[in-house]
Structure 1
Amino acid sequence: MTSVTTPREAYGSHVLADLGGIGADLLRDAVVLETILVNAAAVAGARVLSAHFHHFGGEHGVTGVVLLAESHITIHTWPEHRFAALDIFMCGKARPEEAVAQIARDLQAELQNVRTCERGFAPPPR
């Protein structure tokens, strides 16, 4: 059996956030959502590699991903329910909780349900 050494950079936090009570028009605007998520990555101390957002047309929502050197931020929106689902995974010194807080502020979310899961095998010393 071979032993595998886990790099310290592989340890991180994975945050799932459900945000509600958001204006429907905002949840249909792929350009604004991309700006909000890219800004949140910067606030969290992450480095953006690329981003791709897609509006499903008409009254439908948006799905988007911001690829980070530290992993990713994704969003899926349901304007008809005034709801957005976020998935943020960041490793290293990036701070995903700060990204969630910034996104919630920018979306003016009235409701938040945030869950965090630590990922990896050996957390780095703090």
Structure 2
Amino acid sequence: MSVLGQPLGVQLMAEIWECDPNKLNNIKVVQEIMVGAARKANAEIREVVFHRFEPQGVSGVVVISESHLTIHTWPELAYAAVDIFTCGEHVDPWEALESITQDFNAEEVNVMEITRGMKNLKRLRRNKQQE
């Protein structure tokens, strides 16, 4: 457990497939979807930064008081990589993810949930005592 005896946050790493490629390539739409998801999750938005690549793709971050939402899109594959990290109890990362997948018309979603700030996850990092 963490020093506080509870997780510091939850991180969702999502692979969303068979999305609407036109939405994935439109910076304005991607930004609106991500900001909307943060609001639906009850997050406090601090900063929003998005960039469109040539010939295609969008990357962006919505910085929230409770951590962040990020996205990287590959319209040519109808795919996006989404990361949602939240701290505290009043923000629901699953609500944000549901909003994102619905708004992109995703047909397939694979998600890994990571509990952050838990000391019992030593197996995921190098243990200095083993060196």
Percent identity, aligned pairs only, is 39
In the alignment, the residues of structure 2 paired with residue 11 and residue 79 of structure 1 have an alpha-carbon distance, to the nearest angstrom, of: 34
Q: TM-score w.r.t. structure 2 length?
A: 0.83
Question: 1:22-47: CA deviations, max 9, x gaps?
Answer: 12111111111111111111111111
Q: TM-score w.r.t. structure 1 length?
A: 0.86
Q: Tell me which moved more, 7-16 or 40-49.
A: 7-16
Q: How many residues align?
A: 117
Name structure 2 gaps, 5 residues minimum: 120-131
Q: Within 5 A, what are the aligned runs for 1:9-20?
A: 11-20=8-17
How much is the aligned-residue C-alpha RMSD, in angstroms?
1.9
Alignment of 1:66 with 2:62, yes or no, is yes
In the alignment, the residues of structure 2 paired with residue 31 and residue 88 of structure 1 have an alpha-carbon distance, to the nearest angstrom, of: 19
Name structure 1 gaps, 5 residues minimum: none
Match of 2:36 in 1: 39
In 2 relative to 1, CA 75–87 (structure 1 residues): closer, same or farther, beyond 3 Å?
same
In the alignment, the residues of structure 1 paired with residue 118 and residue 50 of structure 2 have an alpha-carbon distance, to the nearest angstrom, of: 32
User: Is the 8 Å Cα contact of residues 10 and 92 (structure 1) preserved in structure 2?
Assistant: no
Match of 2:128 in 1: none
